[in-house]
Structure 1
Amino acid sequence: MKINCLSCGHNLDLDEDTYSDYEGQVKCYACNALLEINLKEGRIKSVNISKQKSYATAEA
């Protein structure tokens, strides 16, 4: 199953057996965006960019 990242457009290839019924987050390895996905019976129901806050680390 292929999903395009909503942040950068990178093509994410998800294993169909593992993700046929899945609701949760996946990470784009091209831009590190977190996507909230909802898949039912091997079909995409929704894909959104996660609203989870990211925290930057300060360097001394």
Structure 2
Amino acid sequence: MRINCLACGHKVTLDDAYDNFEGPVKCLCGAMLEIRTEDAMLKGIMLVEPRPRPAPESKRMEGAAAT
């Protein structure tokens, strides 16, 4: 089965494991697609908005000598 990425138009090839599937698929462009298939037929597709990652907290060592 092949689906077109909604973000870039790339053809994403899916094997038989996706014939009855509901969940995320990632395109080469990095876009996440939420798909639903039944009997090797695409029933639904949606572009998933990326969730912003929380900024990493700085890890300062307490009691470390300042240089």
TM-score by length of 1: 0.82
Q: Residues of 1 paired with 2:30 and 2:54: CA distance?
A: 13
Q: Indicate the structure with greater helix content.
A: 2
Give 2:8's aligned residue. 8
How many pairs are equivalent?
56
Give 1:39's aligned residue. 37
Higher Cα radius of gyration:
2
RMSD of the TM alignment (CA)?
A: 1.8
User: Partner of 2:18: helix, strand, or coil?
Assistant: coil
Give 1:55's aligned residue. 53
- Please state how far the C-alpha of 1:53 moved relative to its aligned partner: 1.1
Alignment of 1:8-27 (within 5 A): 8-15=8-15, 17-27=16-26
User: Partner of 2:17: helix, strand, or coil?
Assistant: coil
The gaps in structure 2 that reach 5 residues or longer are 57-67
Deviates more, 1:46-55 or 1:32-41: 46-55
The gaps in structure 1 that reach 5 residues or longer are none
Higher relative contact order (Cα pairs below 8 Å, separated by 6+ residues) = 1
